[in-house]
Amino acid sequence: MAVLSVMDTAAAAVERLDRLAATPRVAKLALAFQKAGHELALVGGPVRDAFLGRPVNDLDFTTSASPDQILEIVVPIAEAHWEVGRAFGTIAARVDGETVEITTYRSDVYDGETRKPEVEFGDTLEGDLIRRDFTVNSMALRLPEKVLVDPSGGVEDLLAGILATPGSAEDSFRDDPLRMMRAARFTSQLGFQVSADVQTAMTERASTLEIVSVERVTDELSKLLKTDDPVPGIRLLVATGIAELVLPELPAMILEADEHHHHKDVYEHSLTVLTQAIGYEKERHPGTPPDLTLRIASLLHDIGKPTTRRLEPGGVVTFHHHDLVGAKMAKRRLKELRFDNDTIAAVYRLIELHLRFFGYTEGGWTDSAVRRYVRDAGDQLERLHMLTRADVTTRNRRKADHLAFAYDDLEDRIAVLREQEELDSLRPDLDGDAIQRILGIKPSREVGEAYRYLLELRTEEGPLGEDEATNRLKAWWDARHQQPGAGGEPADPVA
């Protein structure tokens, strides 16, 4: 049965590769390079995915032609082309409405000291394939002959679900240390296991990742988190010590259990929350791109626990304020990894607020408390819904059901208030211009204070209406200026 399975898989892959090679854009490229006297091969991911039966989205080619020669061949048959990767031997082009990338045979390596590889062009397809990261990515289809080239046994490793390097794993990771993180990503993306020598080399050479630019590391980490199941890759990063360099907060969550086991394993809990958040993400927004912000927040939501852990009298373990501490820690880490400001701000807010809901289960919230929850979450409310639900990992079914029902109730109340009060655009009944006109003051700090006072009223009591808001504002202003040391006389009236 195993032989038949392998044969069936190979036959299906050949059929898919034949169909791919026959598509107009691939056939057009193959003929153009052949006429120019240069080799061309479909390489890497597309060939691998043909064996796995996965959709082929990106077409990568490799060629004996130099970057200048690639341009001479491609420009006449392309609707557009880009030379941003020219220094690395890569030319991108749009052919028949699809983007392709064509790269000169390469054999570049790191020198072990700088953060950028030395770009060297090769002269054979086999030489190019052997220098690639993993055997399953080191297969190519020669065009237009449609001959499979597999110098390092990629087909066998692919069918066995093994991630191995074409040569020595140590040499491969010396050539480009980022390949160690790529191994973690492919573990999750393909559902493969790394070979024993790959894991050993990752462990021994983890520190060499420091020579790789932060941007490349962050990009690879993001790709891992965007896979359908990032957990196996994350476990591999932690097990090999790479996480100590990239996200040291992760292994720090593997707390030693106290003798009474009075707290959960924070690391395992966080991985479960990540998995459950991805489930909610797919359930609520099927077919949309992975939500990197939600996934980062889910993974890091409890990173403040190791710092705030306290053993109280009676053996009770507490983590007071771990939400606020964790939000600050996440902000620092994401800044170091050079994530964009919007992502950093969103993750900070989600971690800061992830415990807020649990107060809802302790006693019914007033409408003002619900409004405050929505106001504080802002545009992160939908993500906060998913994170908070995912944060319930108890095995106690009764407790889990109670929390789920409570959150259902909270979302229902938010929906009702949203319909009644335009909750998503929570603003005072009077704007800044009205405040200045009513109080007879110019733009100043006091206008902001008045605005915040009215916003607090709006949050606590709901819409007041313009007349009532005006009366309350005047009463607040009079009381404020009757208090000793309240700031003296009002500013001059607007002329």
**231 in Cβ contact with 196 (< 8 Å):** no
Count CB-CB contacts under 10 A for residue 251.
Answer: 16
φ, ψ (nearest 5 deg) of residue 317: -95, 130
**325 in Cβ contact with 203 (< 8 Å):** no
* Cis geometry, peptide bond prior to residue 144 (ω within 30 degrees of 0): yes
**219 in Cβ contact with 246 (< 8 Å):** no
In CATH terms, 1-155 corresponds, of 3.30.460.10, 3.40.50.620, 3.40.50.300, 3.30.420.40, to 3.30.460.10
Count of alpha carbons within 13 Å of 106, Cβ hemisphere only? 22
What is residue 112's predicted lDDT score, i.e. its pLDDT?
58
What is residue 17's predicted lDDT score, i.e. its pLDDT?
87
Q: Which residues, at least 6 apart from 406, have a Cβ–Cβ distance to it below 8 Å? A: 357, 360, 361
What is residue 415's predicted lDDT score, i.e. its pLDDT?
86
**226 in Cβ contact with 220 (< 8 Å):** no
What is residue 123's predicted lDDT score, i.e. its pLDDT?
85
What is residue 261's predicted lDDT score, i.e. its pLDDT?
45
The tokens describing 380, both together, are 């992160």
**90 in Cβ contact with 122 (< 8 Å):** no
φ, ψ (nearest 5 deg) of residue 377: -75, -35
**94 in Cβ contact with 134 (< 8 Å):** no
The tokens describing 166, both together, are 């074409």
Q: Where are the domains of the chain?
A: 1-155, 161-246, 252-425, 432-482
Read off the pTM: 0.81
Q: Give the tens place of pLDDT for each residue, 73-131.
A: 999 999 999 998 888 899 999 999 889 999 999 875 555 565 565 667 888 999 999 99
What is residue 358's predicted lDDT score, i.e. its pLDDT?
80
In CATH terms, 161-246 corresponds, of 3.40.50.720, 2.60.40.10, 1.10.110.30, 1.10.3480.10, to 1.10.110.30
Whole-angstrom distance, CA of residue 167 vs CA of residue 150:
13
Paired residues of 385 in beta bridges: none
Place of tokens 């040569």: 167
Per-residue pLDDT of the chain (495 residues; tens, 9 = 90+): 333 355 556 678 878 888 888 888 899 999 999 999 999 999 999 999 988 888 887 899 999 999 999 999 999 999 999 998 888 899 999 999 889 999 999 875 555 565 565 667 888 999 999 999 999 999 999 999 999 999 999 999 998 999 999 999 999 999 899 999 999 999 999 999 999 999 999 999 999 999 999 999 999 999 999 999 999 999 999 999 999 999 999 999 987 544 444 456 899 999 999 999 999 999 999 999 999 999 999 999 999 999 988 878 877 788 889 999 999 999 999 999 999 999 999 999 999 999 988 877 666 788 888 888 988 998 999 999 999 999 999 888 888 888 888 888 888 888 888 776 655 556 788 888 888 998 888 888 888 888 888 888 877 777 888 888 898 888 889 888 776 555 444 433 332
What is the arrangement of strands in the sheet containing 80-82, beginning at the earlier edge strand? Answer: 80-82, 90-95, 98-104, 59-63, 40-43, 140-143, 147-149
Whole-angstrom distance, CA of residue 148 vs CA of residue 160:
19
**92 in Cβ contact with 81 (< 8 Å):** yes
In CATH terms, 252-425 corresponds, of 4.10.860, 3.90.550, 1.10.3210, 2.60.120, to 1.10.3210
φ, ψ (nearest 5 deg) of residue 104: -65, 145
CA 241 to each of CA 115, 206, 231: distance values in angstroms, whole numbers, following the listed order: 20, 6, 15
